[in-house]
Amino acid sequence: MMRNIVAGNWKSNKSINEARNWMSEMGEAMDNLPKNVRIMVAVPAPYLAALAKEKHPRILIASQQVSATGYGAFTGEFTADMLVSCGVDYALVGHSERRSNFGESDEIVSDKLKQCLESDLGIVLCCGEHLNERDADRQEEVIKSQLESALHGVTADDMKNIIVAYEPIWAIGTGRTATADQAAEMHTFIRRWISEKFDLHTAENTSVLYGGSCKPSNAKELFASKDVDGGLIGGASLNSGDFQSLICSFT
């Protein structure tokens, strides 16, 4: 399994036409992009089915959202099963913007993750500490508790479908990036935790991405550490040229 991944997260941005232009620019550039990295993009939900059909086969399509329930009377929700049936490969789960702005508790995150596993939908599990927690040097304790809760009852075999994204909340959309040392330290911590919970083989095969103001100018340095397998990229994924530069950081 190739651990390197560059994943874009458009959040609530782009019209369908802009989304299609981005996809065709990526398709045209594809032959020149390094082969040792998987490419993913999390697009707004209304575009998922169309883009999943039209995208270049190398691009993995992710949903930014997924329901914590199965089918039923849950107006406005969409299930992991529905996403799979539309050709979606992954869902982001536990993104800090969902946790902070839309009341997603650890329990909901865990329910969403279970729904994805049952439907065989890949998961990008996001975790990260707030600035006050970092200032109090509590980042490891916070990440450990988020991972313990989200991955409770998950097996080593399930981990094949799970990518972890470490996204310090103080670095998301703020322009303030974690230093390469801070990122490396946390990624090593996360991989060690996975190894203790499951086993070394699982830890070595799980991708752990960095997120938080990752951009072409700092990606090479961040991705250089052995435990940083790529990035979950918000702002800098909107422009396909920047996104291509991020992918090229692996060359």
Q: Say whether 95 is catalytic.
A: yes
Minimum CB–partner distance for residue 70 and ligand PGA (Å): 27
Minimum CB–partner distance for residue 24 and ligand PGA (Å): 23
C-alpha torsion angle, residues 90, 96, 98, 102 (rounded to 10): 170
Cβ distance 116 to 91 under 8 Å?
Answer: yes
In this complex, which beta carbon is closest to ligand PGA, that of residue 4 or of residue 177?
177
Q: Say whether 167 is catalytic.
A: yes
Give the contact letters, 177-216, x = binds to ligand PGA (CB under 6 A), - = no.
----------------------------------xxxx--
Q: What span, in angstroms and rounded, lies between the C-alpha atoms of 17 and 19?
A: 5
Burial of 153 (0-12, 13-18, 19+ CB in 10 A): exposed
Position among 129, 167, 227, 229 found at the interface with ligand PGA (CB under 6 A): 167
Position among 172, 183, 190, 209 found at the interface with ligand PGA (CB under 6 A): 172
In this complex, which beta carbon is closest to ligand PGA, that of residue 82 or of residue 186?
186
Specify the DSSP element, H or E, that contains 138.
none
Cβ distance 193 to 147 under 8 Å?
Answer: yes
Per annotation, catalytic residue among 97, 104, 129, 167: 167
| Interacting residues with ligand PGA between 209 and 228 (CB under 6 A) | 211-214
Sign of the four-CA dihedral 103, 148, 210, 56: negative
Q: What span, in angstroms and rounded, lies between the C-alpha atoms of 1 and 16?
A: 32
The reply on whether position 232 binds ligand PGA by CB under 6 A is: yes
In this complex, which beta carbon is closest to ligand PGA, that of residue 125 or of residue 172?
172
Mapping DSSP to helix (H, G, I), strand (E, B) and coil, where does residue 178 land? coil
Binding site residues, ligand PGA, CB under 6 A: 9, 167, 172-173, 211-214, 232-236
Q: Which residues are catalytic?
A: 95, 167
